[in-house]
Amino acid sequence: RPLDFDQTIYRVKMQRKVLNSIIMGAPGGGKGTISKKLVKDFGFTHISTGDLLRKNITEKTQIGLAAQSYMQAGKLVPDEVVLDILKQELSVLPAGKSVLLDGFPRTTHQATKLKEFFNIDAVLSLDIPHQVIIERLGNRWIHTPSSRTYSYDYNPPKVKGIDDVTGEPLSQREDDKPHVVKARLEEYAKMTAPLLAYYKQLQKETNGKTVVAEFQGSESDVIYKSVKPFLTNDLKFPTV
Protein backbone atom coordinates (compact mmCIF):
# COMPACT_ATOMS: atom_id res chain seq x y z
CA ARG A 1 0.00 0.00 0.00
CA PRO A 2 1.41 3.40 -0.94
CA LEU A 3 1.89 6.00 1.77
CA ASP A 4 -0.75 8.40 0.60
CA PHE A 5 -3.70 6.77 -1.10
CA ASP A 6 -7.29 7.14 0.01
CA GLN A 7 -9.07 3.94 -1.06
CA THR A 8 -12.47 5.44 -0.28
CA ILE A 9 -12.34 8.02 -3.05
CA TYR A 10 -11.24 5.68 -5.80
CA ARG A 11 -13.11 2.46 -6.46
CA VAL A 12 -12.69 0.77 -9.82
CA LYS A 13 -15.09 -1.96 -10.91
CA MET A 14 -13.68 -2.71 -14.37
CA GLN A 15 -10.22 -3.20 -15.77
CA ARG A 16 -9.00 -0.05 -17.48
CA LYS A 17 -7.34 -0.03 -20.88
CA VAL A 18 -5.48 3.28 -20.56
CA LEU A 19 -3.65 4.80 -17.59
CA ASN A 20 -1.91 8.08 -18.40
CA SER A 21 0.56 8.70 -15.60
CA ILE A 22 3.28 10.98 -14.29
CA ILE A 23 6.29 9.61 -12.46
CA MET A 24 8.01 11.93 -10.01
CA GLY A 25 11.21 11.35 -8.08
CA ALA A 26 14.36 13.14 -7.00
CA PRO A 27 17.41 12.98 -9.29
CA GLY A 28 19.47 9.89 -8.52
CA GLY A 29 16.57 8.22 -6.72
CA GLY A 30 15.94 5.34 -9.11
CA LYS A 31 13.12 6.91 -11.14
CA GLY A 32 14.73 5.72 -14.38
CA THR A 33 14.93 2.13 -13.16
CA ILE A 34 11.28 2.10 -12.06
CA SER A 35 10.20 3.74 -15.34
CA LYS A 36 11.88 0.93 -17.31
CA LYS A 37 10.09 -1.69 -15.22
CA LEU A 38 6.74 0.04 -15.78
CA VAL A 39 7.32 0.15 -19.54
CA LYS A 40 8.26 -3.55 -19.59
CA ASP A 41 5.42 -4.77 -17.35
CA PHE A 42 2.57 -2.48 -18.46
CA GLY A 43 3.50 -1.36 -21.98
CA PHE A 44 3.62 2.36 -21.17
CA THR A 45 5.02 4.75 -23.74
CA HIS A 46 7.72 6.53 -21.73
CA ILE A 47 8.01 10.22 -22.60
CA SER A 48 10.88 12.20 -21.14
CA THR A 49 10.66 15.89 -22.03
CA GLY A 50 14.44 16.17 -21.61
CA ASP A 51 14.97 13.42 -24.21
CA LEU A 52 12.39 15.04 -26.50
CA LEU A 53 14.18 18.39 -26.30
CA ARG A 54 17.53 16.79 -27.15
CA LYS A 55 15.96 14.83 -30.04
CA ASN A 56 14.39 17.96 -31.54
CA ILE A 57 17.65 19.90 -31.18
CA THR A 58 19.61 17.09 -32.86
CA GLU A 59 17.09 16.87 -35.70
CA LYS A 60 17.10 20.68 -36.03
CA THR A 61 13.30 20.90 -36.01
CA GLN A 62 11.70 24.33 -35.76
CA ILE A 63 10.81 23.74 -32.10
CA GLY A 64 14.28 22.29 -31.45
CA LEU A 65 16.01 25.35 -32.86
CA ALA A 66 13.78 27.58 -30.71
CA ALA A 67 14.70 25.55 -27.60
CA GLN A 68 18.40 25.61 -28.49
CA SER A 69 18.46 29.39 -28.76
CA TYR A 70 17.28 29.69 -25.13
CA MET A 71 19.72 27.05 -23.89
CA GLN A 72 22.68 28.67 -25.64
CA ALA A 73 21.75 31.95 -23.97
CA GLY A 74 21.82 30.17 -20.60
CA LYS A 75 18.05 30.52 -20.16
CA LEU A 76 15.41 27.97 -19.24
CA VAL A 77 13.36 26.72 -22.18
CA PRO A 78 9.93 28.42 -21.81
CA ASP A 79 6.94 26.27 -20.87
CA GLU A 80 5.24 27.06 -24.18
CA VAL A 81 8.11 25.50 -26.16
CA VAL A 82 8.20 22.36 -24.00
CA LEU A 83 4.40 22.06 -24.22
CA ASP A 84 4.56 22.36 -28.03
CA ILE A 85 7.12 19.54 -28.19
CA LEU A 86 4.98 17.40 -25.87
CA LYS A 87 1.77 18.09 -27.84
CA GLN A 88 3.55 17.09 -31.04
CA GLU A 89 4.76 13.82 -29.51
CA LEU A 90 1.35 12.94 -28.06
CA SER A 91 -0.41 13.68 -31.36
CA VAL A 92 1.45 10.89 -33.18
CA LEU A 93 0.89 8.19 -30.54
CA PRO A 94 -1.46 5.35 -31.52
CA ALA A 95 -4.90 5.54 -29.91
CA GLY A 96 -5.21 3.60 -26.69
CA LYS A 97 -1.55 3.85 -25.67
CA SER A 98 -0.86 4.61 -22.02
CA VAL A 99 1.70 7.35 -21.42
CA LEU A 100 4.26 7.64 -18.62
CA LEU A 101 5.41 11.26 -18.40
CA ASP A 102 8.86 11.76 -16.91
CA GLY A 103 10.33 15.19 -16.12
CA PHE A 104 7.13 17.10 -16.84
CA PRO A 105 5.27 18.84 -15.34
CA ARG A 106 7.72 20.33 -12.85
CA THR A 107 5.58 23.29 -11.73
CA THR A 108 1.91 23.95 -11.05
CA HIS A 109 1.82 26.33 -14.03
CA GLN A 110 3.01 23.51 -16.30
CA ALA A 111 0.47 21.15 -14.72
CA THR A 112 -2.45 23.50 -15.38
CA LYS A 113 -1.32 24.02 -18.99
CA LEU A 114 -0.96 20.25 -19.47
CA LYS A 115 -4.50 19.71 -18.13
CA GLU A 116 -5.86 21.84 -20.98
CA PHE A 117 -5.05 19.14 -23.53
CA PHE A 118 -4.09 15.94 -21.67
CA ASN A 119 -5.74 14.19 -18.72
CA ILE A 120 -3.61 12.52 -16.08
CA ASP A 121 -5.04 9.42 -14.39
CA ALA A 122 -2.26 8.70 -11.89
CA VAL A 123 0.64 10.53 -10.25
CA LEU A 124 3.31 8.15 -8.93
CA SER A 125 5.60 9.97 -6.52
CA LEU A 126 8.77 8.23 -5.30
CA ASP A 127 10.02 9.35 -1.90
CA ILE A 128 13.64 8.30 -1.35
CA PRO A 129 15.55 9.68 1.68
CA HIS A 130 17.94 12.40 0.53
CA GLN A 131 20.85 10.98 2.52
CA VAL A 132 20.52 7.68 0.64
CA ILE A 133 20.76 9.51 -2.71
CA ILE A 134 23.73 11.63 -1.59
CA GLU A 135 25.63 8.51 -0.48
CA ARG A 136 24.67 6.51 -3.58
CA LEU A 137 25.81 9.19 -6.03
CA GLY A 138 28.89 9.93 -3.94
CA ASN A 139 29.94 6.31 -4.45
CA ARG A 140 29.63 6.56 -8.25
CA TRP A 141 32.89 7.10 -10.15
CA ILE A 142 33.50 7.03 -13.89
CA HIS A 143 36.23 6.49 -16.46
CA THR A 144 35.50 9.60 -18.51
CA PRO A 145 36.92 8.54 -21.92
CA SER A 146 34.84 5.33 -22.07
CA SER A 147 31.92 6.35 -19.79
CA ARG A 148 32.48 3.13 -17.79
CA THR A 149 30.73 3.57 -14.46
CA TYR A 150 31.66 2.03 -11.12
CA SER A 151 29.89 2.11 -7.79
CA TYR A 152 31.66 1.43 -4.51
CA ASP A 153 28.30 0.05 -3.29
CA TYR A 154 27.87 -2.84 -5.72
CA ASN A 155 30.29 -2.62 -8.67
CA PRO A 156 33.67 -1.39 -7.37
CA PRO A 157 36.83 -1.24 -9.49
CA LYS A 158 39.45 -3.91 -8.76
CA VAL A 159 41.84 -1.19 -7.60
CA LYS A 160 40.37 1.84 -5.84
CA GLY A 161 40.27 4.87 -8.12
CA ILE A 162 41.57 2.98 -11.18
CA ASP A 163 39.70 1.82 -14.31
CA ASP A 164 39.75 -1.99 -14.65
CA VAL A 165 40.38 -1.95 -18.42
CA THR A 166 42.88 0.86 -19.05
CA GLY A 167 44.47 1.40 -15.64
CA GLU A 168 43.64 5.10 -15.97
CA PRO A 169 42.32 7.15 -13.04
CA LEU A 170 38.60 7.41 -12.33
CA SER A 171 36.88 10.71 -11.66
CA GLN A 172 33.66 11.86 -10.09
CA ARG A 173 31.10 13.79 -12.10
CA GLU A 174 30.62 17.31 -10.78
CA ASP A 175 26.89 16.53 -10.50
CA ASP A 176 27.63 13.59 -8.18
CA LYS A 177 29.63 15.53 -5.58
CA PRO A 178 27.76 15.64 -2.24
CA HIS A 179 27.36 19.44 -1.98
CA VAL A 180 26.03 19.61 -5.57
CA VAL A 181 23.63 16.69 -5.04
CA LYS A 182 22.36 18.25 -1.79
CA ALA A 183 21.61 21.55 -3.57
CA ARG A 184 19.79 19.75 -6.41
CA LEU A 185 17.70 17.74 -3.96
CA GLU A 186 16.73 20.85 -2.01
CA GLU A 187 15.70 22.54 -5.26
CA TYR A 188 13.71 19.47 -6.30
CA ALA A 189 11.88 19.34 -2.94
CA LYS A 190 11.03 23.04 -3.18
CA MET A 191 9.53 22.58 -6.66
CA THR A 192 7.77 19.30 -5.95
CA ALA A 193 5.81 20.21 -2.80
CA PRO A 194 3.40 22.63 -4.56
CA LEU A 195 3.04 20.26 -7.54
CA LEU A 196 2.03 17.36 -5.30
CA ALA A 197 -0.38 19.65 -3.45
CA TYR A 198 -1.91 20.66 -6.81
CA TYR A 199 -2.52 17.04 -7.82
CA LYS A 200 -3.88 16.10 -4.38
CA GLN A 201 -6.37 18.94 -4.71
CA LEU A 202 -7.23 17.72 -8.21
CA GLN A 203 -7.76 14.24 -6.76
CA LYS A 204 -10.40 15.68 -4.42
CA GLU A 205 -12.03 17.82 -7.10
CA THR A 206 -12.29 14.95 -9.58
CA ASN A 207 -13.46 12.47 -6.94
CA GLY A 208 -10.39 10.36 -7.57
CA LYS A 209 -10.29 10.40 -11.37
CA THR A 210 -6.75 11.65 -10.95
CA VAL A 211 -5.02 9.55 -8.29
CA VAL A 212 -1.93 10.54 -6.30
CA ALA A 213 0.13 7.77 -4.72
CA GLU A 214 3.41 8.20 -2.84
CA PHE A 215 5.85 5.33 -2.42
CA GLN A 216 8.69 5.34 0.09
CA GLY A 217 11.88 3.31 0.22
CA SER A 218 15.62 3.41 -0.27
CA GLU A 219 15.95 0.95 -3.18
CA SER A 220 14.08 1.02 -6.49
CA ASP A 221 13.56 -2.78 -6.52
CA VAL A 222 11.88 -2.62 -3.12
CA ILE A 223 9.74 0.40 -4.06
CA TYR A 224 8.60 -1.31 -7.26
CA LYS A 225 7.19 -4.17 -5.20
CA SER A 226 4.61 -1.62 -3.99
CA VAL A 227 4.15 0.23 -7.29
CA LYS A 228 3.29 -2.79 -9.46
CA PRO A 229 0.49 -4.24 -7.26
CA PHE A 230 -0.88 -0.74 -6.75
CA LEU A 231 -1.42 -0.44 -10.51
CA THR A 232 -2.74 -3.97 -11.02
CA ASN A 233 -4.89 -4.31 -7.88
CA ASP A 234 -5.94 -0.80 -6.83
CA LEU A 235 -6.15 0.84 -10.25
CA LYS A 236 -7.14 -2.32 -12.15
CA PHE A 237 -4.54 -1.72 -14.84
CA PRO A 238 -3.40 -5.04 -16.34
CA THR A 239 0.15 -6.01 -17.20
CA VAL A 240 0.99 -6.76 -20.84
Which residue numbers are catalytic?
A: 31, 106, 140, 173, 184
Residue 139: exposure state from Cβ atoms within 10 A (0-12, 13-18, ≥19)? middle
Residue 25 pairs in a beta bridge with: 126
Helices (H) and strands (E) in the chain, counts: 8, 7
> b vs e for 196-218, b when ≥16 Cβ sit within 10 Å of the residue's Cβ?
bebbbebbeeeebebbbbbbebe
Q: Is residue 139 within 8 Å of residue 161, measured between CB atoms?
A: no
CA distances from 71 to 65, 74, 76, 161, 190 (A): 10, 5, 6, 34, 23
How far is the C-alpha of 174 from the C-alpha of 67, rounded, in Å? 25
Of 134, 139, 144, 146, which is closest to residue 170 (Cα–Cα)?
144
Comparing CA positions, the residue from 12, 26, 8 lying closest to residue 232 is 12
